[in-house]
Amino acid sequence: MKELSLNVLDIAENSVRAKANHVWILLDETETELQISIRDDGCGMSEDFLARVTDPFSTTRTTRKVGLGIPFFKMEAEQTGGWFRIRSSQDPENHGTETTAFFCKNSIDYIPLGDIVETICTLIMGAPAIDFIFEHKYPGGETTLKTSEMREILGEEVPLSSPDVICWVRESLRESYSDNQYDAS
Can you give the binding site for Mg ion, defined by CB under 5 A? 10, 14, 67, 69
Burial class of residue 172, CB neighbours in 10 A (0-12, 13-18, 19+) = middle
Cα separation, 163 vs 65, in Å, equals 35
Residue (90 or 176) nearer to ligand ATP, CB: 90
Phi first, then psi, for residue 48 (nearest 5°) are -60, -50
Question: Which of these ranges, 11-19, 124-132, 167-175, 176-184, lies near ligand ATP under the rule CB under 6 A?
Answer: 11-19
Residue (67 or 159) nearer to Mg ion, CB: 67
**CB 174 to Mg ion: min, Å:** 26
- Residues 63-75 as b/e (b if ≥16 CB within 10 A, e otherwise) read eeebeebbbbbbe
**CB 11 to Mg ion: min, Å:** 7
**CB 10 to Mg ion: min, Å:** 5
Question: Amino acid letter at 29?
Answer: E
Q: Which residues bind ligand ATP (CB under 6 A)?
A: 10, 14-15, 18, 40, 42-45, 53, 66-70, 97
